[in-house]
Amino acid sequence: MDAPLVLTTRLDPNEIDKEAHNIDVLWEYPLEFYLATLEYKHPKEIDSIMDQVAGRIGSALQYESFGYTHDTRDISEGPGESAYKTLETMIDKMNAQLELARIIRAVDAKDVVYRVITKHFLPDMIGNLKSFSSQSLRCTKCGAKYRRIPLKGRCYCGNNLTLTVHEKSVKKYLEITKEISEKFDLDAYTQQRIGIVEESMKSLFQSDKVKKCKLTDFM
């Protein structure tokens, strides 16, 4: 999914992600910057003294004379393998991120949890729920796709059909979302949103007619 579809030999800073324009290119930070940190000023209040890429767009300096405060022997130096790859489960990855948030004084761990859930986990689960309920089916042999299952119950080539979106991918963030939201005691509204998504999953994947019961359930 990350393979480039188009390669270009000429880069226009106006056409790239605007987040890249927020890089400061100073050779050293002014005293005013450090004084502003003590007063907890909003970053926008000191934009004028920080010389960001955004202020150079349209001039010759948008391509050159970029300053930096710390030198390095090799710009490619760093971890040979991402921790995201070495940690196996999503719970392990989330716990590692929250442990960093806990030990860094400048980070509010509860706010990190809130943002991860509301900006990533919840939209992902809601989107996957919608995709699951409106998905097509694919033949495992010839690759043909069907909007609805044929009356014969299989592909016209005689082979079986499979889903393109599976239950596991819909539920992959549910348990970690519930765990960290309770652990960090998020607000009632967010907890209720998570509960509604969970109920929607149960309604979709669990049949009301088929229930697994134990003998003790009747006692």
pLDDT in tens, 73-102: 888 888 888 888 888 887 888 888 889 998
Query: How far is the C-alpha of 211 from the C-alpha of 219, rounded, in Å?
Result: 17
More confident residue, 11 or 178: 178
- Give the mean pLDDT of 24-37: 94
Question: What per-residue confidence (pLDDT) applies to 194?
Answer: 94
Q: What per-residue confidence (pLDDT) applies to 1?
A: 53
- The whole-model pTM stands at 0.62
- The pLDDT mean for the chain works out to 86
Nearest-angstrom CA–CA distance, 217 and 44: 61
State residue 177's pLDDT score.
92
Q: What whole-number distance in Å separates Cα of residue 208 and Cα of residue 34? A: 62
Sheet with 137-139, edge to edge strand ranges: 145-146, 137-139, 161-163
pLDDT of residue 119: 93
pLDDT in tens, 138-162: 888 887 888 887 887 888 888 888 8
Cα(180)–Cα(147) distance, integer angstroms:
37
- Report the alpha-carbon angle 79-103-74, nearest 5: 25
- Tell me the C-alpha distance between 110 and 7, whole Å: 41
Taking only the tens place, the pLDDT of each residue in 105-148 is: 889 999 999 999 999 999 999 998 888 888 888 888 887 888 88
Asked if pLDDT for residue 210 goes beyond 70, the answer is no
Name the more confident of 49 and 2: 49
Q: What confidence category does residue 168 fall into, taking pLDDT thresholds of 50, 70 and 90?
A: confident
Q: Answer whether residue 193 shows pLDDT above 60.
A: yes
Residue 63's contacts (CB-CB under 8 Å, 6 or more residues apart) are 13
pLDDT at 131: 85
What pLDDT score was predicted for residue 42?
Answer: 92
